Structure 1
Amino acid sequence: MRIGLLTEGGYPYVSGDAGLWCDRLVRGLDQHEFDVYALSRDERQEDAGWVPLPPQVSRVRTAPLWTAEEDGVGYGRRTRRRFTEYYGDLAAALCATAATGPADPPGDAENASAMEADRFANALYGLAELARDEGGLVGALRSETAVRALERACRAPGAQRPAREARVPDLLTVAAHLERALRPLSLDWYDDAGLGAVDLCHAASGGPAALPGLLARHFFDVPLLVTEYGVRLRTHYLTAPRTTPAIRALLAAFHGRLAAETYRRAAVITPGNGHARRWQERCGADRAKLRTVYPGMDAAPFAEVGEAPESAADPDTLLWVGRVEPTKDLVSLLHAFAEIRKAQPGTRLRIIGAPDGPEGTAYLAHCQALAAQLFPDEADGPHAVGHNPVSFDEIGGPELPTAADAYASGALVVLSSVIEGFPVGLVEAMFSGRATVSTDVGAVVEVIGGTGLVVPPRNPRALAEACVSLLRDPERRARLGAAARARALELFTVEQNVSAFHGLYLEILSRTPIRRVLLDATGEPVPFAAPAEAHVPGRWTGPTSPLVPRSRPDWAVDPPVRATAPTSATEAVR
């Protein structure tokens, strides 16, 4: 079958988020054909180029989400009227209050919410149809008409209080954000040679990546599969800039409405863990559509470390491995380690990781200064490995060339985060057969599953007590490490991830009616745009004309030839 893989700031870019996961998925499903539709985040990401693509990627179409040139489209009176109507309805759905008054019956709030959800969806698809008819809406979304429509919605009776208090700068900021978020509506991906030619759309995240999938479903009834290893709506709440209440309320309403519509239209939703699943259910996802699929990670680099006896590691060394940033709460870890040193004087702590951006660099310097302050009489500085009990290292140097070498350098791994999605570093420690002490955040408890100790976040004393208990009990530490490795190999490998998605693709397509009139020579419908059998070596794979059956089997045919329409976005056909 042909899969339309939708990404935003990810695959196939070298510097993309979740690019490694998508690459492993595509390479693992070489019996299928992939068309990649990628939205880039910035110019630097585009300049860095793509990762090497396997043969099953037949096409890559890209478009910048970070910029959009004026389309130069001239809008007639009827077009402007349609745009004002649709954009006004979308803005009204964002400004509407979340619930009815206290005197209303309980069912009225749910009915009102459903009505606003339908209003938002109708406005979204109306704008998409208008963009398709007119060749884009970039100019309209940036126009004074859009700002005035947003202002009318905010001043209308029944609008929520923060919206009513929006000032002109607030309206301009929100309108600019909506223009950026709605840029995928103006792409030329929505035709029979584009997303209309795929059998299934797989969005690698929610938000902008899922928007083309929604439009493919709207225009062509292409089923949509949405994967979220980190819920985009949660990410918006955590990373939203400090702005006025009006901006926060309107943007939160937009992202919430878009997430709800994505969950409503998706055939299947695959959260990466139970924590993400609970967020999705809270945002309106139907529980019957949810299938938890854990991220697939390569266990091979950690095989040698994981199979080595636990006694081969330094029993007095604690390890922390990850990106250095404030959410990792290394400050609490350092204070906890001061308590650990009182109970176990010979213990060392290795903090292994690079800072994440300017904020991470400043945080690293703060942690180094704190380490020198907490242990002033034991070293000349925080980098004096072997003297100061705390050392700061990075993977890739002569001492720790790989991640496996990092985990091999100690017997106990600590995670001290206050915010965490799916803890990748924790799974790497489990592959390495290491016992772990972690804070109870994100999906940590679900990943550990009883094979490590878990303590409350921001509690240095509890963290210290848990570490000391394992440092003093090497047999228990070895048992936990072996159990952790067995659990990780069962649940978190690339193989289980690829197998799960292969099954979901088949499940979705088995429940999807045939929507294209493509017939073989006997008059039977062709089930897939690119049947898996077309990639299997055999007598039926010789050259033949499109839609002409081979001698056997009669349903294994070449995919139809598709013309490639010129596009303003970048396109590569393999």
Structure 2
Amino acid sequence: MRIGLLTEGARTGAVRRAPRWYDRLVQGLPGHEFTEFALPAGPSSGDPARRARTPDRADRRRFARHFTDLAAALTAEPAGGAPQADRFAAGLHGLAGLARDRADLPALLRSEAALRLLERACRAPGALAAAHAVRVPDLLAVAGHLDEALRPLSLDWYGDGAPGLDAVDLCHATAAGPTALAGVLAKRFFGTPLLVSEDGPGLRAHYLDRATTPLSAPARALLAAFQRALAAETYARATLITPGTAHARRWQERCGAAPQRLRTVHPGVPAGPFLQASDAVADDAATLVWAGPVEPSQDLAGLLRAFAHVRTAVPGAVLRIVGRPGDAPDAAAYLAHCRALADRLFPGTPGPVRFEEPAAPGASAVAGAYATAAVVVLSGAGEGFPYGLVEAMFSGRALVAADAGAVCEVIGSTGLVVPAGDPHALADAVLALLADPARRVRLGGAARARALELFTVDRHLTAFRGIYLELLAHARPEPDPGTPRPFARPAETHLPGRRGAVPRTPPADRTPSWAAGPRRRPAVTRGEAR
């Protein structure tokens, strides 16, 4: 099977110490032919766009009609019905058809006419309250983001040049939204099945990212409406959607994904060196281990305050923080802040808090740290799949984790879950485990068993191997009426009653015995021989 992988141009950092999950699909399913179609990141000037002609008057009229539909769907108050989604889809696919006819769509999206159409939609009756407050800088910002998000419409990967998405049997998008847009159009142009996989709720991640960008409230409202509409269109066109967690599945359902086309497939996490840790033993060890990328979302400051309470009750307790600065822009500054906080909370040398940065990214250093832990603590509040939590479960250690995202779904009843951002609850849970070594052993063994049952790479590969075959089987076209269909007639139409009897072929005007309904005994009257 030829599979087109639709990916983002830059790594998102979701899997930090292992290859991306779809890289493992390529390596673990050698029976399929994978081709990656990466959405370029950064300015659109370097995109491999198809050769576009200068738009003429007819192109500009088509653009005005379709962009008006798109803008009106974004700026209208949500009505909860289909007309708004239909108008967005009409505008989106109309622009796609314009780009496929080799009109210079990026130039049209950046034109003054697009700004006027967008402003007209914002001022129209029934528009969002935030849309009425837009100013020219807001319109410029929104138009720039729309140009970037609609970039796949103009890229040359639909088969006009080198073999592209017209030559694949299945499109597998690694996220909804702009990443999956090429697959949405491939399904429309060529009937190619579209599979959309998301580890976490991508729309929520967009909301969180936009909240920190220097945009005005009207611009953020319009861009959020666009992302909602694009996600809903992606889910509506997808043949099958595979969320990585039930948490992501609930978000997809809220965005309009049909429940019957949702199938949860947990990501596979390489067990590797984490299984080499020996089983936990019941002793008086008091070493806590935290591992992961150091950034504000991991709430290391809250962990240090919780450890201050632990240290008061257990003077010999030690906290190992293993990790390097993460991808967040302020990650390095946050690490320096945490070091300074540790020095204030635990003066003296050497202190009970040890910051350890592995020489190189990899799982071996983290696995070695987990092997020394009495309790593994995960204080972060990330929304994606908790890969670090699964790695700690593979290590067979007792766990205390903050309740965020899919943590409860992953950990089940094999660890302690506390409210995110509550240092006192975190400290109480850790102290409860340090005071009960036998409980730590039981929870660590149960966590390892659960991870091996649900979150291995082999289970992940098996799930997608079956999904690929299922989608291809349902996507095969019906043969022509005059073409014989295999297995249209059964191999046997009669089973003999006794061995050696010659099968009798039923007359053409009689229904075969295997296809008839249950036999009924003839009705008899009183006194008749039975």
State whether TM-score is above 0.5.
Answer: yes
Q: Which residue of 1 aligns with 2:507?
A: none
Aligned pair in 2 of structure 1 residues 400, 277: CA closer, same or farther (>3 Å)?
Answer: closer
- Is residue 71–residue 138 contact of structure 1 (8 Å, CA) maintained in 2? no
Cα distance in 2 for partners of 1:20, 1:418 equals: 21
Question: Which amino acid is the alignment partner of residue 138 of structure 1?
Answer: P
Unaligned residue ranges in structure 2 (runs of 5+): 487-530
Letter in 2 for 1:86: H
Q: What is the aligned counterpart of 1:355 among 325, 328, 331?
A: 325
Deviation at 1:76, TM superposition (A): 1.1
In the other structure, the counterpart of 2:336 is 365
| Secondary structure at 1:310 match in 2 | coil
Does the alignment pair 1:132 with 2:100?
yes
Pairwise CA distance, 1:402: 2.5
Name which of 48, 57, 77 aligns with 1:77. Answer: 57
Aligned twin of 2:173:
203
Residues in 1 aligned to 2:310 and 2:176: alpha-carbon distance in whole angstroms:
42
Cα distance change, pair 430–204 in 1 and its aligned pair in 2 (3 A): same
Could you report, residue by residue, the CA deviation over 1:12-45 in whole angstroms, capped at 9, with x for unpaired residues? 99x99995211111111111111211123249xx
The unaligned stretches of length 5 or more in structure 1 are 44-63, 100-109, 380-386, 527-574
Quote how far apart the aligned CAs of 1:11 are.
7.7
Match of 1:320 among 290, 293, 297: 290
Cα pair 2:200 2:247 within 8 Å, conserved: no
CA contact (8 A) 1:12 1:19 kept: no
Confirm whether residue 243 of structure 1 aligns to residue 215 of structure 2: yes
Q: Distance in 2 between matches of 1:41 and 1:83?
A: 25
- C-alpha deviations, 1:54-99, integer Å up to 9, x for none? xxxxxxxxxx697588966311111110011111110110001013
Matched, 1:160 2:128: yes
Q: Is the 8 A contact 1:65 1:183 kept in 2?
A: no
Paired residues of 2:52 and 2:103 also in contact (CA < 8 A): no
Q: Is this contact kept in 2: 1:431–1:489, CA < 8 A?
A: yes
Question: In structure 2, what is the Cα distance between the partners aligned to 1:12 and 1:465?
Answer: 34
Deviation at residue 309 of structure 1 after TM alignment = 3.0
Residue 34 of structure 2 is matched in structure 1 by 34
Change (3 A) 1:400 1:207: closer
2:118 is aligned with 1:150 = yes
What is the CA-CA distance between 1:513 and the residue it aligns to? Answer: 3.7
Question: Post-superposition shift, 1:191?
Answer: 3.0
* 2:496 aligned residue: none
Judge conservation of contact 1:433–1:481 (CA < 8 Å) in 2: yes
Distance 1:349 1:7 in 2: 38
Structure 1 pair 280–398 and aligned structure 2 pair: CA distance change class (3 A): closer
Residue matched to 2:417: 454
In 1: Cα distance, 2:24 partner to 2:382 partner: 27
Give the conservation status (yes or no) of the 8 Å contact 2:244–2:264.
Answer: yes
Q: Please show how residues 554-569 of structure 1 align to structure 2 within 5 Å.
A: none
Cα pair 2:201 2:247 within 8 Å, conserved? no
Whole-Å Cα distance in 1 between the matches of residues 59 and 83 of structure 2? 25
Q: d(CA) in 2 for partners of 1:332 and 1:468?
A: 16
Q: 1:286 is matched with which residue: 254, 258, 265?
A: 258
Mapped partners of 1:371, 1:31: distance in 2: 52
2:9 maps to what in 1?
9
Q: Superposition pairs for residues 62-73 of structure 1, below 5 Å?
A: 73=53
CA gap 1:188/1:515 in 2 versus in 1, 3 angstroms: farther
Output the amino acid matched with 1:4: G
**In the alignment, does 2:321 pair up with 1:341?**
no
Contact 1:413/1:435 (<8 A) preserved: yes
Task: Provide the residue aligned with 2:228 in structure 1.
Answer: 256
Q: Which residue of 2 aligns with 1:530?
A: none
What is the aligned partner in structure 2 of residue 503 from structure 1?
A: 466
Q: 1:457 and 1:191 mapped to 2: Cα distance?
A: 49
- 2:89 matched residue in structure 1: 121
| Higher mean C-alpha displacement, 190-199 vs 450-459 | 190-199
User: What SS class does the counterpart of residue 161 from structure 1 fall into?
Assistant: coil
Equivalent pair of 1:313/1:409 in contact (CA under 8 Å): no
Higher relative contact order (CA 8 A, sep 6+): 1
Shift of 1:161: 1.1
Instruction: Give a deviation string over 1:478-506, Cα, whole Å, max 9, x none.
Output: 11000000000111111011110111112
Name the % identity: 57
Q: 1:419 to 1:21 in 2, by over 3 A?
A: closer
Where 1:129 maps in the other structure, the secondary structure is helix
Deviation at 1:353, TM superposition (A): 0.7
1:471 aligns with 2:442: no
Where 2:66 maps in the other structure, the secondary structure is helix
Work out which of the residue numbers 86, 90, 97 in structure 1 matches 2:70.
Answer: 90
Pairwise CA distance, 1:159: 0.9
Any conservation in 1 of the 2:298–2:382 contact (CA below 8 Å)? yes
TM-score, normalised to structure 1, is: 0.79
Q: 1-side partners of 2:272 and 2:447: how far apart?
A: 16
Q: Which residue of 2 aligns with 1:567?
A: none
- Tell me, what secondary structure is at the counterpart of 1:363? helix
Alignment of 1:519-530 (within 5 A): none
Question: CA 1:264–1:197 in structure 2 vs 1: closer, same or farther (change >3 Å)?
Answer: same
C-alpha distance in structure 2 between counterparts of 1:136 and 1:356, whole Å? 39
**Match for residue 485 of structure 1?**
448
CA distance in 1, matches of 2:17, 2:96: 27
State the SS of the aligned residue for 2:281.
helix
Query: What residue identity is the alignment partner of 1:165?
Result: A
Distance in 2 between the 1:516 and 1:19 partners?
Answer: 41
The yes-or-no answer on 1:23 pairing with 2:23 is yes
Establish whether residue 298 from structure 1 lines up as the match of residue 285 from structure 2.
no
Amino acid in structure 2 at the alignment position of 1:21 = W
What is the CA distance between 1:406 and its match in structure 2?
A: 2.0
Count residues with an aligned counterpart: 479
Q: Contact (CA 8 Å) 1:423, 1:443: kept in 2 or not?
A: yes
Instruction: Provide the C-alpha distance between the structure 1 equivalents of 2:419 and 2:221, rounded to a whole number of angstroms.
Output: 31
Q: Which digits, 9 at most, give the CA deviation of each residue in 1:182-203, with x for residues without a partner?
A: 0100012123742111111100
Shift of residue 301, structure 1, vs aligned partner? 1.9
Closer, same or farther: CA 30–72 of 1 in aligned 2, 3 Å: closer
Secondary structure class of the residue paired with 1:201 = strand
CA 79–524 in structure 1, closer or farther in 2 if over 3 Å, else same: farther
Closer, same or farther: CA 368–442 of 1 in aligned 2, 3 Å: same
Structure 1 pair 514–19 and aligned structure 2 pair: CA distance change class (3 A): farther
Question: How far apart are 1:295 and its partner, in Å?
Answer: 0.7
Alignment counterpart, residue 475 of structure 2, candidates 504, 509, 512: 512
Mean CA deviation greater in 506-515 or 309-318: 309-318
Q: 2:157 aligns with which of 185, 189, 192?
A: 189
Rg bigger for which structure?
Answer: 2
Displacement after TM superposition at 1:152 (Å): 1.1
- Per-residue Cα deviation, 1:109-137 (whole angstroms, up to 9, x for no partner): x3xx3101000001101100110102541
CA contact (8 A) 1:229 1:295 kept: yes
Which residue does the alignment assign to 2:500? none
Closer, same or farther in 2 for the Cα pair 1:18/1:36, shift >3 Å? farther
Corresponding residue of 1:49: none
DSSP-derived class of the 2:200 partner: coil
1:488-530 C-alpha deviation (Å, 9 max, x unpaired): 011111101111011111222222242899xxxx98899xxxx
Measure the CA separation in 2 of the matches of 1:322 and 1:523.
59
1:329 to 299, 309, 321: 299
